[in-house]
Chains A and B, each alone.
Chain A
Amino acid sequence: DQQVKQNSPSLSVQEGRISILNCDYTNSMFDYFLWYKKYPAEGPTFLISISSIKDKNEDGRFTVFLNKSAKHLSLHIVPSQPGDSAVYFCAANRGGQNFVFGPGTRLSVLP
């Protein structure tokens, strides 16, 4: 029973366009969400987070949107660059340190 779902295993986007990665969760107690990025042969690295008291958080080209009623969050990357090609993990928790990760979405940004 996956509490955090990323239903698109992969996504391809043209360089310069917007990338939208989606994440759904089932546990309404989750109140903190993160996105991690992972390159091959490396560990995941933190990208951006959002608390449940917000519906949007922006950091440069990266914006995360949270829709609590739909239990849905999304990561927007604008404009997409070839260096953004990686696996993106959505993660959630309800306080503390126990994060639940989604299965990941592989983003390919085509030049």
Chain B
Amino acid sequence: DAGVIQSPRHEVTEMGQEVTLRCKPISGHDYLFWYRQTMMRGLELLIYFNNNVPIDDSGMPEDRFSAKMPNASFSTLKIQPSEPRDSAVYFCASSPGVAGVGETQYFGPGTRLLVL
């Protein structure tokens, strides 16, 4: 398996533009997570899905952020409009089916976003 795939790996955009980050989870994994890593706050969970359904989006910073999972093999995280403070590394991760103790998450390589 190729692991979790994220695209693009790097994104530079101007303030006010729409940004779309993409993720393909590991085949067969039922959980998908979006994280954001910054120097100040470390690794923060933004939202996670189970079987394509959003379960917990309490970490989404504000309405400018939205995430979708139209099918089991694809998810997007959209920022509209983007702001300089959104600059961070965004990670997607997936996890196998049964929830509970013992589960671990497999992370993609991340998308480094810079908003000018």
Chain A interface residues toward B at CB < 8 A: 6, 31-32, 34, 36, 41-46, 49, 51, 89, 95-104
Contact = CB atoms under 8 A, between A and B. Distances in A.
A83 B50 CA distance: 35
Contacts of B41: 103
Interface of B: 4, 31, 33, 35, 41-45, 48, 50, 55-56, 91, 93, 95, 99-110
A97 B99 contact: yes
A102 B55 CA distance: 22
20 contacts: A32-B101, A41-B110, A42-B110, A43-B4, A43-B109, A43-B110, A44-B91, A44-B107, A46-B104, A46-B106, A96-B100, A97-B33, A97-B48, A97-B55, A97-B95, A97-B105, A98-B45, A98-B56, A101-B45, A103-B43
B70 to A, nearest CB: 20
Most buried by B among A34, A41, A43: A43
Interface of A (DSSP majority class): loop
A5 B100 CA distance: 23
B45 A96 contact: no
A31 B42 contact: no
B29 to A, nearest CB: 11
Nearest to B103: A97
Given A32-B101, A46-B104, A49-B104, A89 B110 contact: no
A43 B48 contact: no
B42 A102 contact: yes
